[in-house]
A and B are shown apart, each in its own frame.
Chain A
Amino acid sequence: MIAALLLLLQGDAVVLKGGVLHVGDGRLLTGATILIRGGVVEAVGEQIEAPEGAVVVVLPASAHVVPGFIDLHTHLGMAAEQDEPAGPITPHMRAADGYSTDRDDVRAARGSGVTTVALAPGEANLVGGAMSVVRLGDGYLHEALVEPVAAMKLSLGAGALLQGREPTSPAGALALLERELADAGSETHRRLVKEKKPAFVHATTVEAISRALELRTRFGIRLVLLHADAADDAVDAIAAAGVPVVLGPLTMSDDDRTLRRAGLLAGKGVRIGFASDAPVGTEEQLRHSAILAVRHGLGKDAALQAMTSGAAKILGLDALLGTIEAGRAADLVVYDGHPLAPTSRVERVIAGGRTVFERSPK
């Protein structure tokens, strides 16, 4: 009944009062009030009056409110159809075109604490296409879409060499990619060199990471390293270049080297973010990855920022997402305890100002 009433009033203002508020940039506020209207956070503070007709949710002091987590690389809702090996260079491919909001994995993800995901093409093509940022709301794509072309996905991995067409070797791959980036008339050049969209490059080995860093220097692209399993061995070069690294999903069974990577990189000043890489992991696993990283040396603040404001910065969408501040999108999650305590559960999720998940009473 209450849920139904909430649904009816979703177009109107929502006020969250109390609990511990993690702004997302490291700041903590206790007992603050958040006013949400028209899909955005209108105000945050102590002296905020709830407007007439607003839904007021009073939180217990033990509750924690965090910005909705951002998954920096996922194939959620794509029915495991992220790889379309139509050619080595497919910049017009667009991840959102393969996304269906009415899939079970998308529905399940609404209660995960992740509110925003960067959908990505797979690693079958050197230039796989556009990564699209969508919100895990309750509508179809036109409501969910935050940015159809937020970043570009590139692959220096083995997957791009096994498609029965060019390239068949890392050398061939690099030559093709360089030609494409140099071609001022190409879509790849337009997105990465002119528009400076982030280039998420799948680069597993030290060699691949070095080549990616080289492309960055040569073409001035905004590099983000993905699946950088060898980042430990290139940490100084990565840190010197100021290139962010996206990690995860981490699991309990990963080796120590993998689990310590987040702490190691962050300790060197490298900006990090997390990815579920669904269907490899699940959206729920994003937070678990952060928890495991904290257990192995990453600071709690750094872990939370990696999933919120830091992730938004990596995507270049920090003016819109990543913190709970006036003017930002109303994407936030209420936990019944500290968000990095494994025992904490999601109580409520607001995405784009709409309550998309609410834990039903026992």
Chain B
Amino acid sequence: MITRSPILLTVVMVFYLVGCSSNGDNKLRYLESRKALAAELEKDNRLAEAYVQWSALQDMFPHNSDISDKVDELQQLIDSRRDSILASIDKRKTTAKKHELQRLYLKVLALEPGNREAIGALREYERGVADSAANLKAQNIKRVFVAKKQKSQQEQDKQRFTADAGELLAKSNFSGLLQLVDRFLERYPEHQPALNYRFQALLKMGESELTAGQTEDAVEFFERALKVQSIDHSALAQKTQGIKKRLSDDYFRMGMKSFKNDIDKAVDYLQTSVSYNPDNLKAYQQLIRATRIQQNLRKINGHTGE
């Protein structure tokens, strides 16, 4: 029917061409607007985005040599900048910090978003960071585990010590208790219950010596007890002080007794008396006197001897 009516065929063709020419106009409009956009992007240094615009224009106008030239020109600019950054990376690979290299690779991708070398390097970097984090976490877990295990071992040691110490105390085995405590304190020197047990053991042993009349041995135990740290010693200190005063007086009397017969012995006794009570003025005066006599006697003896 169409071929039989040239007028109608013409009408159809006109409609068709109107449609086509409108499409052509629209393409030209697209070309102009995108060229402007690409130029703006390039001017703003957004080269990869400009490249997409030019590349799409080349796709639409494959025979337009201006566009092809522009695509080549932009590609060369991108290549040259990329190569310059990659060369800088190569140069600084051993000296630069990781985050500096990471930034350079990111700059490569900003120019060429599909660059495999940069993606690979950044992925390795990401993997390294994640691996380090995982290893650090594993090490921390291990450290916490070891600490927990140690704590648990310590708890067990302390529980066992408390039980054993309580048993020895109940049996009044103070020397055994002291040995146990001293061994335990070598490992846990700050353990307060052990320090309390040590004080208690030394106190009981001193009292036992005191009861047996071994006053000096008692004082020795008491003085060791007084050296136990973190304990309130005030009562024992007072008690020990009293005993030492008595001992000082005893030794003073013994010194005075020996004064006439054995001056050396007298000096020893008086020295002991002063050592138990440095405030014993009488003992101190007699010690000076005895020492002077002792020296004179030694001089006389020495002179006679010549």
Do the two chains bind? Answer: no
